[in-house]
Structure 1
C-alpha cells in the first residue's frame, strides 16, 4: 500500500494535491494519505506578549490547522480514501521532511504556488525546499 504525505494549508494549491491523490486511488492504486498541517510559531513572540498568552496562541494555531485540514479531509472521506491527519508546529519544509521520514511515507504530494525562479530566490519556497532535499520522491502539483 502506498503511503502518501500531503501537506495542507487550506489553499486551493494544497487541495489540488489532494485531488491528485484521489485520482491515484480511483485508478486502482491502494493507498493511504497522511494529511499534515504545519503551523509556524511566531517569529517575534515578544510583540504580542501581554496581549495574548501562550496557551491562547497555541489554541488559535490549532484551530487554524484544523480548519486547513477540514476541506481536504472531507474530500478524502467522500472519495473513500483512507487517511490520517496531524498538526505540527515548526518550520514547514523541515517538518514536512521529518514527518515523511517518521511516517515511512513513500511519496510526498504537494501543491505549489507556481512562483517563478526570481520569486523562489527572493522569498524561498517550501515546495522547492522539500523537493530538493526530501528522502522520498516529491510530486509537485501546480
Structure 2
C-alpha cells in the first residue's frame, strides 16, 4: 500500500493535491493518506513568556490547523480512502521533510502555493524546499 503525505493549509491548491490523490486511488492504486498541517509558532515566544499566557495562542493555532485539514478530510472520507490527520508546530519545510522522510512514507503530494499573497510566496518556497531535499518523490500540483 502506498503511503502518501499531503501537507494542507486550507488553500485551493492544497485541495487540488488531495483531489490528485483521490484520482490516483480511483485508478486502482491502493493508498493511504497522511494529512499534515504545519502551524508556525510565534517567532519569539521567550519575549512574552511569563507575561502573557501563550496557551490560548497554541489552542488557536491548533484550531486553525484542524480547520485547514477538515475539508481535505471530508473529501477523503467521501472517497473511502483511509487517512490520518496531524497538526504539527514548526517551520513548514523542515516539518514536511521530516514527515516525508519517515520510513513508511512513499511520496509527498503538495500544492505549489498557499492561500494568501504572503502564503503564496512562503508556501511556494516551502514546496521548492521540500521538492529539492525530501528523501522521497514529491509531486507538485498547480
- What TM bracket, shorter-length normalisation? 0.7 to 0.9
Per-residue deviation, residues 69-118 of structure 1 (Å, max 9, x unmatched): 0000000000111100001000000000101123621000000129xxxx
Aligned-pair RMSD on alpha carbons?
Answer: 2.3
User: CA, structure 1 residues 123+62, in 2 after alignment: closer, same or farther (shift >3 Å)?
Assistant: closer
SS class of match (1:104): coil
Distance 1:123 1:73 in 2: 20
1:104-134, CA deviations, whole angstroms, 9 ceiling, x for partnerless residues?
Answer: 21000000129xxxx97x9970000000000
Q: Which runs of 4+ in 1 moved over 4 A?
A: 47-50
Q: Deviations over 1:31-62 (max 9, x none)?
A: 00000000001123337984x52111110000
Cα distance between partner residues in 2 of 1:129 and 1:41: 20
Note the residue ranges of structure 1 that are not aligned, 5 or more in a row: none
95-104 or 74-83, larger mean C-alpha shift: 95-104
For 1:41, the equivalent position in structure 2 comes to 41
TM-score, structure 1 as length reference:
0.88
Where structure 2 has 5 or more consecutive residues not aligned to the other structure, the ranges are 115-119
CA distance in 1, matches of 2:103, 2:21: 17
- Distance in 2 (CA, whole Å) between partners of 1:66 and 1:40 is 14
1:6 aligns with: 6
After TM superposition, the score normalised by the length of structure 2 is: 0.88
